[in-house]
């Protein structure tokens, strides 16, 4: 019996020692957030319609973003028509992003509150997660669609200037091509 107690004591000391060596969780401090899964910056970004990296697939593949195009309008030598259309694309995208962002925050808040109250079951969890995922997809689509619309408004030279001004090093052919143009001999 005595050897069992000694063995348990040693095992307990090893476990405590190992846990101490691991250090605190990377989540430490986040337990005080109003919505545990979202930082203050993420909440602000969602509520204000910011891109938050959702359109990187477009931005880094020659599809400029409307906000940045407007910011660089003079350097890009946008025509008045290009400027007006870009503003329309940006305004439409931002309205949709703000609407969707608010819904995501609302659903994340509900998810957090249900966990905090230990009032979540499998059905409610699935419903909330499905809704959040759907909204996140719609939000990303809104941002990416705006990039697609802007790319069509700009000339290849304007896109190249945009990329240079944004600090991108593009190593592919600078002119976008249609599928037909790629296969010409």
Query: What is the predicted pLDDT for the residue at 173?
Result: 57
Mean predicted lDDT score pLDDT of the chain: 88
Query: What is the predicted pLDDT for the residue at 21?
Result: 61
Q: Say whether pLDDT at 5 is over 60.
A: yes
Measured CA angle at 121 (ends 118, 125), to 5 deg: 105
**Alpha helices, H only, 34-79:** 40-48, 56-59, 66-71, 73-76
Provide mean pLDDT across the span 45-71. Answer: 96
Per cent of the chain over pLDDT 90 is: 73
The residue extents of the domains of the chain are 39-168
pLDDT in tens, 16-32: 665 556 678 888 888 88
In this structure, of 49-58, 78-87, 113-122, 172-181, the range with the lowest mean pLDDT score is: 172-181
Distances from the Cα of 33 to the Cα of 52, 78, 106, angstroms: 20, 43, 15
Provide mean pLDDT across the span 159-164. Answer: 96
Provide mean pLDDT across the span 154-167. Answer: 96
Q: Are 150 and 71 in contact (CB under 8 A)?
A: no
Packed helices 122-153 and 80-116: angle between N→C axes, nearest 10 degrees: 170
Q: Say whether pLDDT at 45 is over 90.
A: yes
């Amino acid at each position: 019996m005595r050897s069992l107690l000694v063995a348990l004591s040693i095992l307990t000391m090893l476990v405590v020692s190992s846990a101490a060596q691991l250090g605190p969780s990377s989540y430490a401090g986040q337990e005080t957030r109003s919505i545990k899964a979202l930082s203050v910056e993420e909440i602000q970004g969602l509520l204000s319609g910011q891109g938050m990296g959702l359109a990187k697939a477009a931005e880094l593949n020659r599809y400029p973003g409307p906000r940045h195009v407007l910011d660089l309008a003079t350097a890009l030598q946008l025509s008045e028509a290009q400027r007006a259309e870009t503003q329309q694309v940006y305004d439409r995208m931002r309205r949709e992003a703000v609407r969707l962002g608010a819904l995501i925050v609302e659903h994340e808040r509900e998810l957090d509150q249900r966990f905090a109250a230990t009032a979540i079951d499998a059905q409610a969890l699935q419903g909330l997660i499905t809704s959040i995922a759907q909204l996140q997809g719609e939000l990303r689509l809104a941002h990416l669609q705006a990039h697609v619309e802007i790319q069509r408004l700009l000339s290849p030279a304007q896109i190249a200037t945009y990329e240079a001004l944004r600090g991108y090093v593009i190593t592919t052919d600078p002119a976008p091509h249609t599928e037909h143009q790629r296969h010409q001999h």
